[in-house]
Chains A and B, each alone.
Chain A
Amino acid sequence: MNLILIGMNHKTAPLEIRERLSLACGDSINPLIEIMNIPQIKEAIYLSTCNRVEVLAHAVDEKSAVEKLKTFIFNHGNLSPEDMTRCLYLYYDHDAVRHLFRVASSIDSMVMGEPQILGQVKDAYRTAIEHNATGVMLNKIIHHAFRTAKRVRTETGIASNAVSVSFAAVELAKKIFGNLKGKTILLIGAGEMSELAAKHLINYGVEKIFITNRTYARAVQIADNFHGTAIEFDRLQEKIQDVDIVISSTGAPGYVIDVSMIAATLRRRKNRLLFLIDIAVPRDIDPAVGEIDNVYLYNIDNLQDIVDSNLQIRKKEAEKAIPS
């Protein structure tokens, strides 16, 4: 079949490495074009989310194609050879298809059963079509993957009761603030996961939501969805003074929020607790911000850890339910 799947996910690579790679692939270069420039590769799909970077390729000569793909990742991720071997996984043919099906069905997700991944795979596929990067083989496989994902969703209980990163954010917010009634959120940037988190928080009583985005029109658009208020991006710091929870998920290459920015708001905030959620990869908020008194900063991996331990507890609970 000559199918190759190479990539890294939240299980194999820490956030720092994933963000380096997705950063490199995000702005300056178009990864798909580069991959398609590899002569041994006939078709390719490039999938990049907060939790994974993967390339699925149909190659003529597997061996040299793999080497070229590795060099591609090596160059852009700025990884050491040890990191490469530690973080990368490589599947061929049946295993590659199997992995793709698992990813699309959200079985391989950080939060098993989360609904976003299928949309992300679809987006990746759409991009591949736009670049004429897919052919008979990948078209067929990907459509099978979509159908499989759909069946897994409807025929198993994987999606019901899913423990998710956005719920972990809600759990933490409740641990910090107790009742979320009357609390306010600031949403920086757009993204499915951050909007989902915002939606959950609103369901739990958060009353006011402010949205800011580099493109003001986009902020207005999201604000309409949430019945929130759009804020110009340069009023970000001023708004942080007032809110209780900040969810950031911009595509910015550097930090959007740094220590001096938060420190400047502390006096005005009168030490009110501030909960910062950084869903972006690469990160939006300087990790040092988390050291400030009464400020709590969680990034995507931190939330993941909570989800993991929740799942662990569930597993244990489930074991209890099975008579031995």
Chain B
Amino acid sequence: MSEMELLFLKAALVVYLISALGYMCSLYVRRVLAAKVSTWILFAAFVFHTVFFALRYSKTGQTPVISLHETLSFFAWAMAGIYLAFQLKTKTRVLGAFVSPLTFLLMIVASPGLGGHVSLPGILQSNLVPVHVILAVTGEALFALASCAGAMYLIQEGMIKNKRMSGFIRIFPSLTDLDRINHICLMWGFPLLTLGILVGSIWARTAWGSLWQWDPKQVWTLTAWFAYALLLHQRLAIGWKGRKAALFSLVAFAILLASLFFINMFFVTAHTFI
């Protein structure tokens, strides 16, 4: 990794940390203003991160989403970017208090392995692989955001229900806004994950000869996919809203998380990261 790249990576890391601290501080002092400032700081971190990606791409000529660390870094980048995009439309600044610590943690896990050159085994040398990863991970980042909004919804809903309008929930975004973000993330995340899975299986056909291998990772992801499909159906057809939808989105995300991280630890899978 060149010095320039290292500089931007470090800058992104530090600034992500500052914004996460800023957001938590806004909860502590109960001022939305602190969250607003932190949103701009997060934007700065996002810009550094983007520059890092660009430098990386121009140097190696491959989309930096191949190794586990690169994927996590991309996950963090997508999450921050989508959250920032939401801030253009809705005023849900304090949601960042849940998003930015997650982004920072992902970056901490990702950063030690970001430097080295990733040499691809022959089987992974296809243009479809980065497309598969980008689609799937963007979908997953949307789902992560949906869970942040869902968790915030549940905390606040419980407090309003029990008439405890105190503490930091005073500056939480409204229930309706949180539900809307949960809904929109689901609406976008689902087709992206679906496309990601489809692209993956098309490539799998060329690489391994069949569309579907019953690999543990594939099975878990499919389970999560079904959970999200069910949630989307309940939302659109049955009219689920609010608490139930928020709770279910957390459950679905837990399944997805299992497929993302734990499967590789306990099962032998073709999806082993490099």
List A residues at the B interface (Cβ < 8 Å). Answer: 172, 174-179, 270-273, 290, 293-294, 296, 298, 302, 305-306, 309
Contact = CB atoms under 8 A, between A and B. Distances in A.
Given A175-B175, A176-B176, A296-B161, A273 B241 contact: yes
A101 B163 CA distance: 33
Nearest to A173: B174
Contact of B174 (A175, A271, A296, A302): A175
B120 interface: no
Nearest to A271: B241
Contact of B177 (A178, A271, A302, A309): A178
A175 B160 contact: yes
Interface string B176-217: 110000000000000000000000000000000000000000
Contact of A172 (B160, B166, B244): B160
Contacts of A178: 173-177
Given A176-B175, A177-B174, A178-B177, 11 more contacts: A172-B160, A175-B160, A176-B176, A178-B173, A178-B174, A271-B239, A271-B244, A293-B244, A294-B242, A302-B163, A309-B165
Query: Chain B's interface: helix, strand, loop or mixed, by majority?
Result: loop
A294 B241 contact: yes
Contacts of B241: 270-273, 294
Contacts of B174: 174-179
Contacts of B57: none
B243 interface: yes
B261 interface: no
A167 to B, nearest CB: 13
Interface in B228-274: 239-244
A177 B176 CA distance: 5
Contact of B160 (A176, A179, A272, A309): A176
Interface of B: 156, 160-161, 163, 165-166, 172-177, 239-244
Contacts of A296: 160-161
B147 to A, nearest CB: 20
A293 B154 CA distance: 12
Top 10 A-B pairs, shortest CB-CB distance: A178-B174, A270-B239, A271-B241, A178-B176, A178-B177, A294-B242, A302-B163, A177-B176, A176-B175, A306-B165
Contacts of B166: 309
A176 B172 CA distance: 10
Nearest to A269: B239
Given A175-B174, A177-B175, A293 B242 contact: yes
A309 B175 CA distance: 21
Nearest to B165: A306
Contacts of A294: 241-243
Contacts of B243: 293-294
A65 B57 CA distance: 92
Given A176-B160, A293-B244, A273 B176 contact: yes
A39 B240 CA distance: 65
A273 B156 CA distance: 14
Nearest to B177: A178
21 contacts: A174-B174, A175-B156, A175-B160, A175-B165, A175-B172, A176-B160, A176-B174, A178-B173, A178-B175, A178-B177, A179-B174, A270-B239, A271-B244, A273-B175, A273-B241, A290-B161, A294-B243, A296-B160, A298-B163, A302-B163, A309-B165
A176 B156 CA distance: 9
A176 B176 CA distance: 6
Contacts of A175: 156, 160, 165, 172, 174-175
A306 B241 CA distance: 26
Centre residue among A174, A176, A272 by max chain B CB count within 10 A? A176
B134 to A, nearest CB: 32
Nearest to B160: A296
Nearest to B240: A271
Contacts of A272: 241
A285 to B, nearest CB: 14
Contacts of A177: 174-176
Nearest to B174: A178
